Each structure stands twice: as C-alpha cells, then as structure tokens.
Amino acid sequence: MAFASANPGPWGGAALKSVLQTLQKGWPPGLTVLTGDDLYHLDLAQSKILEALAPGAGGAFGLSIYGDEPITTGALVGAVRSTGMFASRRVVFLRDVAGLEGDPEPIQAYASSPGAESFLIVRAPKLDRKRKLHKALAEAGVCLAFRRPVGDAELSALASEMTSMATARGVELSAGAAGLLLDVYGPDLNRIASELDKLSLWLGSGAAAPAPIDEATVRGLVSGSEILSGWELADAVTKRDAVEAIAAARRLLDAGDEPIRILGGLASRARALLRAKALTEAGVPPKAVIDGARAWYFRDALALGLKRYTLHELLAMPGRFLEADRSLKSRSLDKGAVLETLVLSLTSPTAERR
C-alpha cells in the first residue's frame, strides 16, 4: 500500500476512494503517512480515517493530537504505545510533520510491531526523502500519496468531482462557468470549494441567478480578477477577436500582471487550438477533438477559432511566442508593447500582417 517516489500512485480523488474502501474492511494498525500536493483529498482522507478510528474524539485516552509544538520521534512513539484505562484503542495524530525531530529508529521499530489497537497517523504533505527521518516515514508503514491530476482522464475526473461538489451545494454551473473556475484555480479543489460556498451563499440570499450559473456571474463573485482577465484574453485570441483581445491584455497590464506570465497562458491556449485544428483536419470526430485538446470548458470559443484560423496560421504561432519571449527578456523593450504586438499579430487577419 506504500507508494514510492518514482511511482506516486493514483491522483488524489482515486486515492481517497481507496482509503474509503479500506476503511470498510478495517484500517490497518500501525503507521499511516498522508502525503502529496492534493491537499483537498488528503484532508478528506485524514478526516475519514480519524473519524473511523476515534469517533467522537475517542474518549480520554483514545485520541491524542500533536504538532503545535516540536516533538521527538521517541516521545511520539511513546504516546502511541501508551494505553489508558478507558479505551483499548490508541490513536495518535501528528498534524504537522515539520515539528517532528529525532532519529528514525523509534518510528521504524513501531511500524514493524505496532500492536493490534495502535494507530499513528502523520500528516506530511511534503516529504524530503534525502532526510533519514522522512525516508523512514515514507517506507516504514503505509504511505498514501495524494497527488494532483495529470492527463486527460484524471483532469476529466477532477471536473466531474467539481460538478458533484457544486450539486451538493445546490449550485448548477454552466460548462463555461465550470471551466472558468478550473482555469482560475487549476486542480486546487480547496479554493474551488471556497468559491462554490460563496456561490451557494449568494444563491441563498435570494439573488436571481441564471440556471445554470453562467460565466458572467462567476466573474462577478470569485476571487482573482487578473486571472479572470487572463481567461478573457485567451478566449478572445481563440475566437480571433482582436479588439477584445487587446482590451483584455491592457486590463491585465493595468492590473500589474507580469507579461511573461500572460504569455505562458496564451501559449497554453494556442497549443490547445493547434492540436484541435490538427485533429479536425485529420477527420477526428468533434467530441474526440474536444477531449484531445482538453477544451471541455472553452468549446464555444474553440468552435469559432477552428473556423477563423488556418492550420498554417496556427503552425506559425510557436515562432511568434518564441520571438515574444525573447523580446520580453530584453531590457531595452517595453514589455507591454511587446505583449500587445503579439496579441495583434495573433488575431489580425492574415492580409493585414505585412
């Protein structure tokens, strides 16, 4: 059940399902380490495990929580091996691995022989395997990795989970609104959950909302206005709307966003557009084109872009991005002017590029 660093296991949503299945059979005693950068699913798993092992806080000696102050490995193991008069089960939770000090030997000895009703749960989002103690934590017991999704299948599963989270809060999102949240916050479901809570409260206030909630409503309520402008810029370039693209670029610059960061977002969208165009030219069905380009949440803009750009024009875009990147790294050029020139070159009709 342990995951090595070279094989971090399934993404966080799938790892959580594995945790829930194991809990139904009975959680194994001993050391359990929760690690990874998908903190949303890591924290859910942590909550479910502690709830199952120590329901209602588990009594006077059932559950002990450490992490606010530094603690040695010897003291931590001593705590989890202790037994009380009123609880046969002993559960110790270390909420922050940064406070754990000492040699790894006590942890390794405990993990090899924990006792039938003894459980040590360690929350360690980041493990540095170059450190002996962290290496022991990763390898001595059960180490569950909750990583962010990669690849089409996992990103699609993330989007589906976000939709379920919205439904549970009484919020129905349009495809564009859902895409906007994912574009702003990426795979950070903690942030997305916070914004869904905000939308739910807004709906609960009696506000007259479209059903489903559209992009305009999300733009007005969520945090991160400069990122939202980035979404608008990418959409405008995708649709080859030069006027709106220049206006969105200027809003970003006025907000103080870094041109090199804006360039990266545009390059990502251009790659998706190029891939979609190549698939379309090859006769791939529209649904497969959307999946292949990961364009689930900007499909309307993509549909316009596929009509307005030729494959030859899209193949020329990487060269323009490279040229802009080099220009942005030159101290002698105005970075705002470089970005606006790029946006205009991407969106203007070919006949005007002379």
One digit per residue, pLDDT tens: the chain, 354 residues?
444 333 456 899 999 999 999 999 999 999 999 999 999 999 999 999 999 998 875 444 578 999 989 999 999 999 999 876 666 789 999 999 999 999 999 999 999 999 899 999 999 999 998 999 999 999 999 999 999 888 778 888 898 999 999 999 999 998 878 887 887 787 889 989 998 998 888 888 766 666 788 877 887 776 554 455 577 898 899 999 999 999 989 988 887 888 888 888 899 899 999 999 999 999 999 888 987 887 876 888 899 999 999 999 999 999 999 999 999 888 778 888 999 999 999 998 865 443
DSSP 8-state symbol, 352: G
Superfamily of domain 12-145: P-loop containing nucleotide triphosphate hydrolases (3.40.50.300)
Q: How many residues does the chain have?
A: 354
CA 166/CA 173 separation, integer angstroms: 7
CA 176/CA 277 separation, integer angstroms: 21
**Cβ neighbours of 24 (radius 10 Å):** 8
CA 120/CA 92 separation, integer angstroms: 5
Closest by CA position to 80, among listed 112, 107, 42: 107
Q: Which CATH architecture has domain 225-352?
A: Up-down Bundle (1.20)
Q: According to the CATH classification, is domain 151-221 in 3.30.70?
A: no
Edge-to-edge strands, sheet with 30-35:
63-66, 90-94, 118-123, 30-35, 142-145
- Facing residues of 93 across strands? 65, 121
Contacts 24+ apart (CB under 8 A), 135-139: 135/104, 136/104, 136/107, 136/108, 137/31, 137/33, 137/97, 137/104, 137/107, 138/2, 138/4, 138/5, 138/33, 138/35, 139/2
Strands (E), the chain: 30-35, 63-66, 71-72, 90-94, 100-101, 118-123, 142-145
Closest by CA position to 45, among listed 165, 118, 144: 144
- Longest Cα–Cα distance of the chain, Å, equals 86
Indicate where the chain has its CATH 3.40.50.300 domain(s).
12-145
65 phi/psi in degrees, rounded to 5: -120, 130
Residue that the structure tokens 């017991």 belong to: 141
CA 335/CA 250 separation, integer angstroms: 12
Indicate where the chain has its CATH 1.20.272.10 domain(s).
225-352
Closest by CA position to 94, among listed 112, 111, 80: 80
Closest by CA position to 176, among listed 117, 226, 238: 238
* Inter-residue contact 269 to 237 (CB < 8 Å): yes
